[in-house]
């Protein structure tokens, strides 16, 4: 999981790697309403049949029944964690609040090669070497393949400052790497952070094509939404962004 969300419902717009526009945008100008007014970039209009199929699946499996905040009519509560996919979980983390502090534990086994790859990618994005020992990992196996999804997260809060770095990677049988999402190391306000993080939610067929897609939750300051990433032959493509809620 992304520790930043547990601390302060993380933050506003950060680095998003170059990825294809999600099908939610439909044809034409993807992030403009009629009349040229900008829309929420995390919730562009859902105008295609593929988008509506994905949105329906996500609503059914990951959305709570009581929307709130200032979002659109299809806002929904994402706080209840659900998983309906068949991925094999090799490692994950769990966190608990205790006396106003957050304690997180690493569960399961992280293969040394996957750990090394994730740390290397985080170091390339500015993570100081001494902080690598505090990185937490989630590792999933992609069904019917030799590929792995690896999420690595570093979060540290000191006073009013949070230091954060994260990567989500697709790693192949020959240890080839595709970066799905990345948050370069940076410091931000712990109460009103100015970054975006992601959490892996599920790995499941969301559109009926008999191939699993990666479901992510994006977290920014007072804003939370779902994204769907298609995985195919070592490549990734974002095909949906939307739902969730904003405050």
d(CA 58, CA 29): 24
d(CA 240, CA 77): 18
How many structural domains comprise the chain? 1
* Residues in the chain, total: 247
Domain coverage including residue 51: 3-246
pLDDT in tens, 127-165: 999 999 999 999 999 998 999 999 999 998 888 888 999
* Token digits of residue 46: 């859902």
Residue 245 and residue 68 in contact, taking contact as beta carbons nearer than 8 Å: yes
pLDDT in tens, 42-68: 888 889 999 999 999 999 898 886 556
| Backbone Cα Rg of the chain | 17
What band does 73 get if pLDDT is binned at 50, 70 and 90?
A: low
């Amino acid at each position: 999981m992304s520790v930043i969300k547990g601390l302060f419902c993380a933050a506003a717009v950060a680095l998003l790697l170059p990825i294809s526009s999600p099908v939610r945008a439909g044809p034409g100008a993807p992030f403009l309403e009629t009349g040229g007014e900008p829309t929420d970039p995390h919730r562009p209009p859902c105008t295609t049949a593929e988008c509506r199929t994905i949105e329906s699946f996500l609503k059914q499996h990951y959305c709570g029944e009581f929307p709130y905040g200032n979002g659109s009519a299809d806002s929904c509560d994402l706080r209840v964690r659900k998983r309906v996919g068949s991925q094999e979980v090799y490692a994950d983390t769990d966190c608990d609040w205790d006396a106003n502090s957050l304690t997180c534990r690493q569960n399961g086994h992280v293969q040394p090669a996957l750990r090394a790859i994730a740390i290397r990618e985080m170091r390339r994005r500015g993570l100081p070497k001494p902080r690598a020992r505090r990185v937490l990992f989630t590792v999933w196996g992609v069904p019917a393949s030799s590929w792995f999804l690896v999420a690595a997260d570093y979060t540290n809060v000191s006073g009013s400052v949070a230091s954060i770095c994260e990567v989500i990677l697709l790693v192949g049988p020959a240890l080839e790497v595709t970066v799905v999402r990345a948050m370069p190391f940076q410091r931000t306000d712990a109460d009103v952070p100015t970054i975006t993080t992601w959490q892996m939610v599920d790995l499941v067929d969301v559109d009926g094509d008999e191939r699993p897609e990666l479901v992510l939750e994006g977290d920014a300051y007072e804003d939370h939404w779902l994204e769907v990433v298609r995985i195919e032959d070592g490549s990734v493509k974002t095909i949906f962004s939307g739902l969730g809620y904003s405050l």
